[in-house]
């Protein structure tokens, strides 16, 4: 019985887990300030630790931008991302350079988004989470928080 209770709680909370991805309480201020200056400071659980490591090793040529950090910030952010990374087997391959939007998990969750919306002028790129998820900055990715009316069910 003692063992059953945590399993049961997990099962009950699973549906909520998928659409609530708030930044963890120990998120370094530099993660929001630096990694959130050009796009959403992405939820760390959406890439595996190896992919975060690969991404951080090429910040000077980061998708055509220079996103370099000083050594201290880089170390704090690397440790934070490693602590909260997702599991590769659940996320799937992220490509190279790694993209959240290329993982099988992302593709599965967005199966119902017609292809034309990824290039819609309101969206521009799959990396632009907030264009559709208006509560993304607060970790809300549920179906009730979709900004594009045609994508709301």
List of residues contacting ligand HEC (CB under 6 A): 18-19, 21, 34-35, 37-39, 42, 46, 55, 59, 62-63, 65, 67, 69, 77, 99-101, 109-110, 113, 117-118, 123, 125-129, 131-133, 141-143, 146, 148, 151
Closest CA to 58 of 99, 28, 29, 103: 99
Nearer to ligand HEC among residue 5 and residue 28 (C-beta): 28
Nearer to ligand HEC among residue 3 and residue 111 (C-beta): 111
CA angle 26, 127, 49 (to 5 degrees): 45
Closest CA to 142 of 17, 4, 3, 43: 17
Nearer to ligand HEC among residue 4 and residue 89 (C-beta): 89
- Give the nearest distance from C-beta 2 to ligand HEC in angstroms: 30
Q: How far apart are CA 75 and CA 123, in angstroms?
A: 32
- Give the nearest distance from C-beta 120 to ligand HEC in angstroms: 7
């Amino acid at each position: 019985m003692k063992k059953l209770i945590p399993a049961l709680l997990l099962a009950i909370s699973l549906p909520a887990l998928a659409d609530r991805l708030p930044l963890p309480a120990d998120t370094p201020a530099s993660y929001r300030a630096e990694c959130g200056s050009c796009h959403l400071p992405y939820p760390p659980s959406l890439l595996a630790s190896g992919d975060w490591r690969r991404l951080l090793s090429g910040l000077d040529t980061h998708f055509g931008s220079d996103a370099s950090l000083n050594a201290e910030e880089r170390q704090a952010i690397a440790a934070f991302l490693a602590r909260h990374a997702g599991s590769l087997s659940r996320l799937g391959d992220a490509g190279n350079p790694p993209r959240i939007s290329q993982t099988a998990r992302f593709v599965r969750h967005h199966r119902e988004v017609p292809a034309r919306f990824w290039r819609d002028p309101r969206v521009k790129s799959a990396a632009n989470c907030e264009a559709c998820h208006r509560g993304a900055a607060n970790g809300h990715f549920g179906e009730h928080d979709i900004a594009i009316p045609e994508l709301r069910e």
